[in-house]
């Protein structure tokens, strides 16, 4: 059998549909890779091989019966452990949800199963999606397949590492401040955050409800487009879901982009923390676009310097509210410590939360609770919301001049595990170039763009106006076709 991990998900789907290879053979192949490699990188914290093979057999039977299925039917995938999966544990990387088995599937999971994709397991993540290195999981640290001493990024680090190591052709992650795009960049794969509301959040365990968005990771832009086609659409169970038509993303990938205007974000490209090799990758992408007849325009996001402070006020405030439900009474972890006789219920809740949450989650809960408290709401949270509006206005002004904007995804390539754990501010600054899209609700995609001199992946980021994923994917696909990157799978040494 040829090396299936070197093939795109779309190509695998075509071969399965043509019955050149069965879904079972494909799924077993990736399960064997998981068996051989996952212990070294810990991309998946749960593997359900038996169920995956049963689902694969069902796809093969349906194809044999002549059914017409989706282009990705029978293709294996991994699901971030923050999405509810019926009958399968969902922990959010936290001890406090240890043993929690949802009685329902998230809408995104429902859609993927209906389209015939085959989940092989749940991917590891920073606890409750709070982190940029996947070192905050209660179940273990995930490593970057390109260098096991380095982080894969976060919080969807397991999802990115699984694709980068060839454990799954597609992973589903979530992006609250860059948690799909940043690990995609550090692991050398494609990762997309769609417009806020484009994909239903029903069944996504909330971190920050006004910022969270589900997004796919894969090796190729066409795989991202095909997966988005399945996931996108209105869901009445999610009050923030957008009731807008869903375009056919794959049909316009190869449309000419000559004459388009692409903006270069000067504040990002000239930032003092930007690694020179990352800057060079952005400049290479710029040259490729110019060769395709694109007009490059400098654009400015003057309030971008406030994006990280605004995000790290708004997100913790929402998190402190969303995580209040985890108190040891209904589901998940409950402390075994003896409660105080004079306040047994309250002390049980305090003990359960103290023992069940990790340090980063506690830090953000305390920060959010403080910022929402009497006397500080106006000074912090309300002011951050005003800055958020200014950041969104900056993007609107930029998109009056250009169709898409180009810049770096991350300030640097992957950093060493443990390097930033004792300095939360430095960890938060890894989101410098990604949080703006979340605050403004815009779509963005990270694309591989070669490697640095040590062999670590480099990446660039494209962002577009709300609901203009078609144009975003079109430009991304053309950059890939022009040679910005080729599909690569990390070889673990």
* The two structure tokens encoding residue 371: 């910022």
Q: List the catalytic residue out of 15, 80, 111, 122.
A: 80
Check if 94 is active-site.
no
C-alpha 204/C-alpha 175 separation (Å) is 11
Q: What is the CA radius of gyration of the chain?
A: 22
Q: In three state form, how does the secondary structure of the chain look?
A: CCCHHHCCHHHHHHHHHCCCCCHHHHHHHHHHHHHHHHHHHCCEEEECHHHHHHHHHHHHHHHHCCCCCCCCCCCEEEEECCECECCECCCCCCHHHCCCCCCCCCHHHHHHHHCCCEEEEEECCCHHHCCCCCCCCCCCCCCECCECCECCCCCCHHHHHHHHCCCCCEEEEECCCCCCHHHHHHHCCEEEECCCCCECCCCECCCCCCCCCEEEEECCHHHHHHHHHHHECCCCCCCCCCCCCCCCHHHHCCCCCCCCEEEEEHHHHCCCCCCHHHHHHHHHHHHHHHHCCCEEEEECCCCHHHHHHHHHHHHHHHHHHHHHHCCCCCCCCCCCCCCCCCCHHHHHHHHHHHHHCCHHHHHHHHHHHHHHCCCCHHHHHHHHHHHHHHHHHHHHHHHCCCCEEEEECCCCCCCECCCCCCCHHHHHHHHCCCHHHHHHCCCEEEEEEEECCCCCEEEEEEECCCCCHHHHHHHHHHHHHCCCCCCCCCCCC
Tell me which residue of 192, 208, 212 sits closest to 200, measured CA to CA.
212
Which of 421, 461, 460 shows the shortest CA–CA distance to 438? 461
Distance between CA atoms of residues 49 and 55, nearest Å: 10
Question: Of 390, 253, 241, 373, whose CA–CA distance to 310 is shortest?
Answer: 390
Q: Is 155 a catalytic residue?
A: yes
* Catalytically annotated residue among 155, 171, 335, 446: 155
Which one is catalytic: 179, 307, 320, 352?
179
Q: Is 226 annotated as catalytic?
A: no
Residue carrying structure tokens 């429902």: 110
Name the token pair of 215.
């997004």
Q: Are 219 and 481 in contact (CB under 8 A)?
A: no
Catalytic (active-site) positions = 80, 155, 179
């Amino acid at each position: 059998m040829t090396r299936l991990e070197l093939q795109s998900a779309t190509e695998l789907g075509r071969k399965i549909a043509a019955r050149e290879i069965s879904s079972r053979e494909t799924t077993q192949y990736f399960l064997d890779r998981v068996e051989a490699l996952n212990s070294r990188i810990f991309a998946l914290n749960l593997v359900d091989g038996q169920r995956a093979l049963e689902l694969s057999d069902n796809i093969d039977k349906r194809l044999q019966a002549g059914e017409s299925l989706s282009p990705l039917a029978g293709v294996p995938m991994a699901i971030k452990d923050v999405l509810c999966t019926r009958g399968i544990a969902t922990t959010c990387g936290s001890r406090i949800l240890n043993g929690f088995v949802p009685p329902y599937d998230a809408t995104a999971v429902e859609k993927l199963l209906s389209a015939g994709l085959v989940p092989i397991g749940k991917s590891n993540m920073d606890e409750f999606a709070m982190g940029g290195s996947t070192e905050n999981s209660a179940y273990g640290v995930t490593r970057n397949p390109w260098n096991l001493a380095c982080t894969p990024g976060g919080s969807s680090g397991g999802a990115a590492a699984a694709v980068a190591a060839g454990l799954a052709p597609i992973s589903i992650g979530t992006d609250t401040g860059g948690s799909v795009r940043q690990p995609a960049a550090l692991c050398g794969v494609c990762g997309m955050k769609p417009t806020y509301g484009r994909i239903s959040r029903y069944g996504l365990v909330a971190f920050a409800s006004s910022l969270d968005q589900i997004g796919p990771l894969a090796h190729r832009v066409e795989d991202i487009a095909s997966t988005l086609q399945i996931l996108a659409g209105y869901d009445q169970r999610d009050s923030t879901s957008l009731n807008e038509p869903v375009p056919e993303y794959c049909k316009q990938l190869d449309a000419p982009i000559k004459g388009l205007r692409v903006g270069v974000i000067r504040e990002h490209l000239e930032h003092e923390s930007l690694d020179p090799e990352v800057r060079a990758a952005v400049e290479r992408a710029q040259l490729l676009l110019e060769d395709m007849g694109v007009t490059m325009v400098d654009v400015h996001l003057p309030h971008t310097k406030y994006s990280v402070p605004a995000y790290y006020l708004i997100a913790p405030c929402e998190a402190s509210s969303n995580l209040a439900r985890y108190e040891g009474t209904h589901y998940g972890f409950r402390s075994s410590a003896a409660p105080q006789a004079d306040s047994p219920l309250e002390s049980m809740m305090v003990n359960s939360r103290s023992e069940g949450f990790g340090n980063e989650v506690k830090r953000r809960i305390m920060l959010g609770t403080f910022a929402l408290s009497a006397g500080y709401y106006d000074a912090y949270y309300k002011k951050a919301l005003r800055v958020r509006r200014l950041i969104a206005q900056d993007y609107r002004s930029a998109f009056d001049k250009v169709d898409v904007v180009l810049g770096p995804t991350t300030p640097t390539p992957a950093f060493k595990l443990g390097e930033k754990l004792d300095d939360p501010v430095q960890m938060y600054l890894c989101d410098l170039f990604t949080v703006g899209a979340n605050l403004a609700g815009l779509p963005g995609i990270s694309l591989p763009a070669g490697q640095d001199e040590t062999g670590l992946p480099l990446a660039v980021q494209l962002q577009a106006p709300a609901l203009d994923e078609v144009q975003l994917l079109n430009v991304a696909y053309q950059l890939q076709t022009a040679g910005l990157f080729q599909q690569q799978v990390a070889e673990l040494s």
